[in-house]
Amino acid sequence: MAERAREKVLLVGCFRGRDGHGEALESLDELGLLAKTAGGTVVSSVLQERRTIDPATFVGKGKAGEIGVICRERAVDLVVFDEDLSPAQAGNLEELAGVRVIDRSQLILDIFALGARTSVARTQVELAQLEYTLPRLTRMWEHLSRTGGGIGTRGPGEMQLEVDRRRIRRRIFTLKRALKKVEQDRIVRTSRRKDFPKASLVGYTNAGKSTLFNQLARANVATGNRLFATLDTTTRLVKLPSRESMLLSDTVGFIRKLPHHLVASFHATLECVIEADLIIHVADISHPNCEAQVATVRGVLTELGAGDKPEILALNKIDSPDTETELRRALRTYDHAVAISALTGRGLEALAGLLLDFVMEPKQEVVVRIPRADGRTLSYIQKYGKVLASEAVDGDLRLSVRMGKKFLGPIEPYIEPGPGRQD
The share of the chain scoring above pLDDT 90, in percent, equals 35
Confidence of residue 1 (pLDDT cuts 50, 70, 90): very low
What is the predicted pLDDT for the residue at 357? 87
Q: CATH number of the domain at 105, please.
A: 3.40.50.11060
Does residue 370 have a pLDDT over 90?
yes
Q: Which of residues 364 and 311 earns the better pLDDT score?
A: 311
Confidence of residue 221 (pLDDT cuts 50, 70, 90): low
In Å, how far are 50, 53, 78, 116, 155 from 60, measured between CA atoms?
9, 8, 19, 37, 33
Does residue 129 have a pLDDT over 70?
yes
Whether residue 42 is contained in a domain is answered as yes
Q: Which of 56-70, 108-122, 230-244 has the highest mean pLDDT?
A: 56-70
| Burial of 235 (C-beta count, 10 Å sphere; 0-12/13-18/19+) | buried
Confidence of residue 156 (pLDDT cuts 50, 70, 90): very low
Does residue 152 have a pLDDT over 60?
no
Whether residue 380 is contained in a domain is answered as yes
| Best CA proximity match to 236, nearest among 268, 274, 281, 199 | 199
Least confident of 227-231, 244-248, 292-296, 350-354: 227-231
Contacts of 403 (CB under 8 A, 6+ apart): 363, 364, 366, 381, 384, 385, 386, 411
What's the whole-number mean pLDDT along residues 363-372?
89
* Residues 292 and 354 grouped into a single domain: yes
* Residues 258 and 153 grouped into a single domain: no
Q: Which of 308-312, 346-350, 398-402 has the highest mean pLDDT?
A: 346-350
What's the whole-number mean pLDDT along residues 21-31?
89
Whether residue 213 is contained in a domain is answered as yes
The share of the chain scoring above pLDDT 70, in percent, equals 87
Whether residue 269 is contained in a domain is answered as yes
* Residues 350 and 216 grouped into a single domain: yes
Q: Which of residues 263 and 130 earns the better pLDDT score?
A: 130
Whether residue 419 is contained in a domain is answered as no
Question: How many Å apart are CA 403 and CA 190, to the nearest integer?
Answer: 21
* Residues 198 and 341 grouped into a single domain: yes
What is the predicted pLDDT for the residue at 364? 83
User: How many folded domains does the chain comprise?
Assistant: 4
Does residue 157 have a pLDDT over 70?
no
What is the predicted pLDDT for the residue at 139? 56
- What does DSSP say about strands 7-15 and 78-81: parallel, antiparallel, or unpaired? parallel
Whether residue 201 is contained in a domain is answered as yes
Domain boundary among 172, 189, 206: 189
C-alpha of 30 from chain center: 15
Number of other CB atoms surrounding residue 408 within 10 Å: 17
CB burial string 267-282: b at 16+ within 10 A, e below: bbbbbbbeebbbbbbb
* Residues 348 and 336 grouped into a single domain: yes
Question: How many Å apart are CA 139 and CA 90, to the nearest integer?
Answer: 9
Q: CATH number of the domain at 403, please.
A: 3.30.70.240
* Residues 369 and 267 grouped into a single domain: no
Domain boundary among 137, 154, 189: 189
Whether residue 2 is contained in a domain is answered as no
* Residues 279 and 260 grouped into a single domain: yes
Domain span including residue 126: 116-189
Radius of gyration of the chain (CA): 25
* Residues 314 and 224 grouped into a single domain: yes
Question: How many Å apart are CA 159 and CA 242, to the nearest integer?
Answer: 68
What's the whole-number mean pLDDT along residues 357-366?
83
Q: Which long-range contacts (CB under 8 A, 24 or more apart) does 210-218 make?
A: 210/250, 211/342, 211/343, 212/280, 212/282, 212/314, 212/316, 212/340, 212/342, 213/248, 213/250, 215/342, 215/345, 215/348, 216/248, 216/348, 216/351, 216/352, 217/248
Whether residue 353 is contained in a domain is answered as yes
Q: What is the mean pLDDT of the chain?
A: 83
- Dihedral (CA of 87, 91, 93, 97) sign: positive
* Residues 250 and 261 grouped into a single domain: yes
Does residue 362 have a pLDDT over 80?
no
* Residues 225 and 260 grouped into a single domain: yes
Number of other CB atoms surrounding residue 413 within 10 Å: 9
Domain boundary among 340, 360, 380: 360
What is the predicted pLDDT for the residue at 185? 75
Confidence of residue 233 (pLDDT cuts 50, 70, 90): confident
* Residues 231 and 352 grouped into a single domain: yes
* Residues 328 and 203 grouped into a single domain: yes
Question: How many Å apart are CA 286 and CA 318, to the nearest integer?
Answer: 7
